[in-house]
Amino acid sequence: MEEMEHKLPEILPILPVRDSVIFPRMVVPLMIRDEEYVKLVDEVLQKDKLLVVSMIKDPEKTERPPEVFRVGTAGIIVKLTKAEEGTVLVVQGISRVAITEIVSDESYQKARIKELKDVEHTGKEIEAMMVNALNLFKQIIDLSPHLPPELVQLSRNVDQPGPLADMIISTLNLGRNKKQEILESLDVKDRLSKLMLFLNEELELQKMGKEIQDRVRKGIDKSQREYFLREQLKAIQKELGIDNEEPTEISELKERLKQKALPDQVREVAKKEIDRLSKMSPMSPEYTVSRTYLDWILDLPWREATEDTIDITKARKVLDKYHYNLEKVKKRILEYLAVRKLNPDHKGPILCFVGPPGTGKTSLGKAIAEAMGRKFVRISLGGVRDEAEIRGHRRTYVGALPGRIIQGIKKAGSNNPVFMLDEVDKLGMDFRGDPSSALLEVLDPEQNNSFSDHYLELEFDLSRVMFIATANQLDPIPSPLRDRMEIIELAGYTEDEKLEIATKFLIPRQISEHGLKRSQVKFRRSALRKIIREYTREAGLRNLEREIGAICRGVAKEVAEGKKGGFVISAEEVKKYLGKPKFTPDVAERTSVPGVAIGMAWTPTGGDILFIEATMMPGNKALVLTGQLGDVMKESAQAALSYLRSRAEELGISKDFYKDKDIHIHVPAGAIPKDGPSAGVTMLTALASLVTGKPVKRNLAMTGEVTLRGLVLPVGGIKEKVLAANRSGIKQIILPKENQNDLDEIPEKIRKQTTFHLVSRMDGVLEIALGLNHKGSTQQKNRKK
Q: Which positions lie near ligand ADP, rule CB under 6 A?
A: 322-326, 357-363, 501, 505, 540-542, 545
Instruction: Given the residues 721, 728, 737, 760, select the one marked as catalytic.
Output: 721
**Taking a C-beta distance cutoff of 8 angstroms, is the pair 368, 618 a contact?**
no
Say if residue 498 is exposed, middle or buried (CB neighbours under 10 Å; 0-12, 13-18, 19+): buried
Taking the complex as a whole, the smallest distance from the CB of residue 357 to ligand ADP amounts, in Å, to 4
The closest residue (CB) to ligand ADP is 360
- The answer to whether the peptide bond before residue 435 is cis (omega within 30 degrees of 0) is no
607 versus 764: smaller Cβ distance to ligand ADP? 607
Bond from prior residue into 65 cis (ω within 30 degrees of 0): yes
Min dist CB 554 to ligand ADP, Å, is 20
**Helical residues (DSSP H) of 186-245, grouped into ranges:** 188-240
* C-beta separation of 69 from 116 below 8 A: no
Query: What distance in Å separates the CA atoms of residue 703 and residue 713, rounded to the nearest whole number?
Result: 10
Rounded to a whole number of angstroms, the distance between the first and last alpha carbons of the chain is 141
Find how far residue 730's CA is from the centre of its chain. Answer: 52
Q: What is the smallest separation between the CB atom of 653 and ligand ADP, expressed in angstroms?
A: 48
Answer yes or no: are the C-beta atoms of 418 and 365 closer than 8 Å.
yes
Among the listed residues 415, 410, 416, the one whose alpha carbon sits nearest the alpha carbon of residue 302: 415
CB of 454 to ligand ADP, least distance (A): 30
CA gap 321, 331 in Å, rounded? 15
CB closer to ligand ADP, 55 vs 329? 329
Q: Among 578, 492, 597, which residue's Cα sits nearest to residue 534?
A: 578
Contact in structure between 438 and 478 (CB atoms under 8 Å): no
- The helix/strand count (H/E) of the chain reads as 29, 24
- Please say which residue, 249 or 423, places its beta carbon nearer to ligand ADP: 423
User: Shortest gap between Cβ of 520 and ligand ADP (angstroms)?
Assistant: 21
Nearer to ligand ADP, 37 or 467 (CB): 467
Tell me how far apart the alpha carbons of residues 142 and 722 are, in angstroms, rounded to a whole number: 103
95 within 8 A of 7, measured Cβ to Cβ? no
* 272 included as an active-site residue: no
Q: What is the nearest approach in angstroms of ligand ADP to the Cβ of residue 364?
A: 7
Q: Which residue's CB is nearer to ligand ADP, number 173 or number 473? A: 473
Within a 10 A sphere around the Cβ of 702, how many other Cβ atoms?
A: 31
Give the integer Cα–Cα distance in Å for 548 and 506: 8
Residue 403 or 540 having the CB closest to ligand ADP: 540
Report the distance separating Cα 509 and Cα 490, nearest Å.
Answer: 22
Helix/strand/coil for 150: helix
Closest to ligand ADP by CB, 93 vs 365, is 365
Nearer to ligand ADP, 116 or 471 (CB): 471
Judge residue 602's burial from the number of C-beta atoms within 10 Å of its C-beta, 0-12 exposed, 13-18 middle, 19 or more buried. Answer: buried
Tally the C-alpha atoms within 13 A of residue 608's C-alpha that lie toward its C-beta.
19
In the bound complex, what is the minimum distance in angstroms from residue 733's beta carbon to ligand ADP?
25
**Shortest separation between residue 678's beta carbon and ligand ADP, angstroms:** 24
Rounded least distance, CB 419 to ligand ADP, Å: 15
Q: Is 83 exposed, middle or buried (0-12, 13-18, 19+ CB in 10 A)?
A: exposed
Residue 721 known to be catalytic:
yes
Largest CA distance in the chain: 172
What interhelical angle do 176-184 and 188-240 show, nearest 10? 150
Burial 633-653 (b: 16+ CB within 10 A, else e): beebbebbbebbeebbeebeb
Query: What are the beta bridge partners of residue 618?
Result: 661
Phi, psi (degrees; rounded to nearest 5) at 67: -80, 130
Decide if 709 contacts 647 (C-beta within 8 A).
no
Q: How far is the CB of 405 from ligand ADP (least distance, A)?
A: 20
Which lies closer to ligand ADP via its Cβ, residue 198 or residue 419?
419
Catalytic residue among 185, 678, 689, 728: 678
Q: For ligand ADP, which is the closer residue by CB, 286 or 513?
A: 513
Q: Select 423 or 742, whichever has its Cβ closest to ligand ADP.
A: 423
Phi and psi (nearest 5°) for 557?
Answer: -65, -45
Q: Are 303 and 459 in contact (CB under 8 A)?
A: no
Q: How far is the CB of 503 from ligand ADP (least distance, A)?
A: 10
Amino acid code (one letter) for 381:
L
Just list the catalytic residues: 678, 721
